[in-house]
């Protein structure tokens, strides 16, 4: 798929994140919006025309688009056709300092958010609405995180976080600071 550069629907400009739906449609977040493209590259839906500042993108276990939004400092949820979720399912604004990365664990449905400003990783339950606004299931605050930017979660729930300060990828096998390991530049695994 090759897309044209531009600001009109069906074009992309400065892509910052990408995700895939089960039907192989591609979701692309660029500077101020999120678009859904089919396999041939045709735009199927667009959200956030200059109302979002996406920094991360994922698909929830129930098929919603989750967008880490730097403008509102929260995670925004949308249906795959671009409609907003109901207000009862929205996360509060200014929940994060600067959401930088976002992933959803397929096995549990948990949403993992990297907050670059606060240098934290928070894990939220599978609901689009936190059980108590702003209260994650677990949060990791650690100097070991350096400058966390992007995140991915494998099928076992292992969390991988890119660390721009330490030039490595941090590996979190369980939700404790003592379980943070590092994959370094030589491909060796060591644990801090």
- Give the residue numbers spanning the domain of 57: 17-191
- 2 belongs to a structural domain: no
Structural domains of the chain, count: 1
What predicted TM-score, i.e. pTM, was given to this entire model? 0.84
What's 62's domain CATH number?
2.120.10.30
79-99 burial code (b ≥16 CB/10 A, e <16):
ebebeebeeeebbeeebbeeb
Report residue 32 as tokens: 């101020």
pLDDT value at position 126?
80
- 6 belongs to a structural domain: no
Give 192's pLDDT tier (boundaries 50, 70, 90): very low
Q: How far apart are CA 91 and CA 61, in angstroms?
A: 17
pLDDT digits (tens, 9 = 90+) for 88-109: 778 888 889 999 999 999 888 8
- 121 belongs to a structural domain: yes
């Amino acid at each position: 798929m090759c897309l044209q550069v531009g600001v009109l629907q069906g074009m992309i400009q400065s892509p910052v994140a990408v995700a895939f739906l089960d039907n192989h449609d591609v979701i692309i977040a660029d500077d101020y919006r999120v678009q859904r493209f089919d396999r041939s590259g045709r735009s199927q839906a667009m959200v956030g025309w200059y109302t979002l500042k996406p920094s991360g993108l994922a698909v929830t276990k129930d098929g919603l688009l989750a967008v880490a939004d730097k403008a509102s400092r929260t995670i925004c949820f949308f249906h795959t056709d671009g409609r907003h979720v109901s207000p009862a399912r929205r996360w509060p604004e200014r929940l994060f300092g600067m959401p930088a990365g976002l992933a959803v664990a397929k096995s549990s449905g948990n949403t993992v958010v990297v907050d670059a400003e606060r240098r934290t990783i928070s894990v939220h339950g599978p609901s689009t609405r936190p059980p108590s606004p702003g209260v994650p299931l677990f949060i990791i605050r650690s100097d070991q995180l350096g400058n966390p930017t992007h995140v991915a979660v494998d099928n076992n729930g292992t969390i991988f976080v890119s660390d721009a300060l330490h030039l490595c990828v941090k590996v979190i096998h369980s939700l404790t600071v003592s379980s943070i390991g590092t994959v370094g530049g030589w491909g060796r695994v060591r644990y801090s």
